[in-house]
Amino acid sequence: MTDPHAPVRRGIVPPYLLEQLAAAGMPTASTVAERTLGLDRGIRAERQATPVPRAGLRPEAPARIPGEPAPHRVVSDAQGATTLPGTQVRAEGEPPTGDTAADQAYDGLGAAWRLLLEAFGRDSLDGAGLPLLATVHYGEDYANAFWDGTRMVFGDGDGEVFAGFTSAIDVIGHELGHGVISSTADLVYRDQPGALNESIADVLGSLVKQHSLGQSAEEADWLIGSGVFTPQVQGEALRSMAAPGTAYDDPALGKDPQPAHMRDFVVTRDDLGGVHINSGIPNKAFHLVATAIGGHAWEAPGLIWMDALTGGLPATADFATFAAATEAAAAARYGDDSREAAAVREAWSAVGVTERPAADAHAQEAVRVARTGGMLGRTRAAVLELEVIPGDDRERLDTLVASGTLEDLGARTLPDAPLWRVTVETRCDVTVAEPLLPEEVLALFRRLLELGDEPPAT
Ligand SMILES: [Zn+2]
């Protein structure tokens, strides 16, 4: 049984996927998935007993060489056991071992380190040269890869569904991304902050791959875990940032459950509130920003995301808080009127995290009244200066706004009813269903609409 209250190890393969697989009755993969889940829980219990000190990311670190920043990688081999770290097989600067997993892990750690330094001026995960440690061949056919707070640990996969994890440098980048996050905003690993944590790890993972291949946003595949599935699986990766929800659709694995828009946000108690599921929404926002700006995604888009992450973001930040942080970061770095800032605003609005910036576009307008919906679905809107509104009606409007009645009514929804959106300077921006409006208020809005009717939106 899964204990829903136990903290979950941040493996790249989410528990719901392993559970699905365990129940699928496949000769090898189901047994392996069951064993992997069991191991994850065991390690969870062990880690609860001896918690990893948060500030003490530094494990048995080799001595740092002062001077130029350089990576400090150490790869160990667990040889199929579950004892960490295992036997050291390759340290920084040593030649390839000939073992594919060990050498891929070494190269992947290097690619992640280079992205952090070259794109973000950050020396390793903590910005202070933290050694990068990895253990390969962990467990017997262990079908996961994870960051345990101090090192990257890779299983070999089951050979039936999972081919192994060291070949996917975006998976390595994702796991190390968790290390960057834990040494900066340290986002709570649950609900929206948890999904944000997952998403930023995906962003960093994909950027590691794009940076190492020199790809532009248009050339990138935007997949996380491309190559971790065997060819038998109907799916190309664990997740797709460009098209969340489309990464796999397989009889044994089920369908990729990620939403790409807030209207499809998954409310669940599983997966710590859907941390691996709802991450699709901010993932899509980053993809939209990167493709709107164009060029290398680790440049402006990556810098904006890193500025937001490292600029005092609270550990409990939800999507909207992070959206505001990225908008502020884009404005600070490129200017409020820059296309970078516009791309960020547009992306969060497109995924439904922020409302369309209609109020911004009409900032200089004193009063805007718009009616949408109804039989024809037509929008009528009026934009008015306060001065053109007759004195009586101006007074009625002021009283109405000050009373808070509209806010109260706006909190209720009625399916399919015509809607009135009323903006009064910066004092009020409320959308109310027409049938909820008192008769005299509706009459007032109708008079305002007549006063300054603008052509219907096309
Ligand atoms: Zn993760």
Q: First and final CA of the chain: distance in angstroms?
A: 55
The answer as to whether 322 is a domain residue is: no
Query: Which candidate, 383, 390, 380, places its Cα nearest to that of 364?
Result: 383
Q: How confident is the model at residue 72 (pLDDT cuts 50, 70, 90)?
A: very high
Lowest mean pLDDT among 11-25, 71-85, 140-154, 333-347: 11-25
What's the CA-to-centroid distance between 60 and ligand 1, angstroms? 24
Q: Find all residues with CB under 8 Å of 24, minimum gap 6, and list them.
A: 30, 251, 252, 253
Domain boundary among 222, 253, 280: 280
Around ion ligand 1, which residues have CB less than 5 A away? 10, 201
Tokens of 458: 């096309």
My answer on whether 28 and 126 are in the same domain is yes
My answer on whether 275 and 364 are in the same domain is no
Neighbours of 321 (CB within 10 A): 17
Domain boundary among 218, 247, 280: 280
Residue 123 lies in domain: 15-54+68-280
**What is the residue-averaged pLDDT of the chain?**
87
Strand ranges of the sheet holding 380-384, from the earlier edge strand across to the other edge: 428-433, 419-424, 367-372, 380-384, 453-454
Catalytic residues: 175, 276
The answer as to whether 19 is a domain residue is: yes
The answer as to whether 260 is a domain residue is: yes
The answer as to whether 326 is a domain residue is: no
My answer on whether 260 and 375 are in the same domain is no
**Beta strand pairing call for 132-136 and 152-154:** parallel
296-308 per-position pLDDT tens digit: 999 999 999 999 9
Measured CA to CA in angstroms, residue 405 lies from 65, 312, 441, 443 at distances of 66, 36, 10, 16
What's the CA-to-centroid distance between 108 and ligand 1, angstroms? 16
Question: From start to end of 137-218, where are the E strands?
Answer: 145-147, 152-154
Whether the pLDDT of residue 51 is over 60: the answer is no
CB 156 within 8 A of CB 142: yes
What's the CA-to-centroid distance between 331 and ligand 1, angstroms? 29
| pLDDT for the residue numbered 389 | 87
What's the CA-to-centroid distance between 39 and ligand 1, angstroms? 17
The answer as to whether 405 is a domain residue is: yes
Whether the pLDDT of residue 89 is over 50: the answer is yes
CB 262 within 8 A of CB 281: yes
What's the CA-to-centroid distance between 103 and ligand 1, angstroms? 22
What's the CA-to-centroid distance between 175 and ligand 1, angstroms? 6
Whether the pLDDT of residue 356 is over 80: the answer is no
Looking at per-residue pLDDT, the higher value among 4 and 402 belongs to: 402
Domain boundary among 264, 280, 296: 280
CB 76 within 8 A of CB 89: yes
Tokens of 250: 């397989």
190-231 per-position pLDDT tens digit: 999 999 999 999 999 999 999 999 999 999 999 999 999 999
My answer on whether 107 and 221 are in the same domain is yes
3-state secondary structure labels for all residues of 360-415: HHCCCCCEEEEEECCCCCCCEEEEECHHHCCHHHHHHHHHHHHHCHHHHHHCCCCC
The answer as to whether 176 is a domain residue is: yes
Count of domains in the chain?
A: 2
Angle at 45 between CA 44 and CA 46, to 5 degrees: 90
My answer on whether 402 and 267 are in the same domain is no
My answer on whether 272 and 386 are in the same domain is no
My answer on whether 387 and 273 are in the same domain is no
Whether the pLDDT of residue 451 is over 90: the answer is no
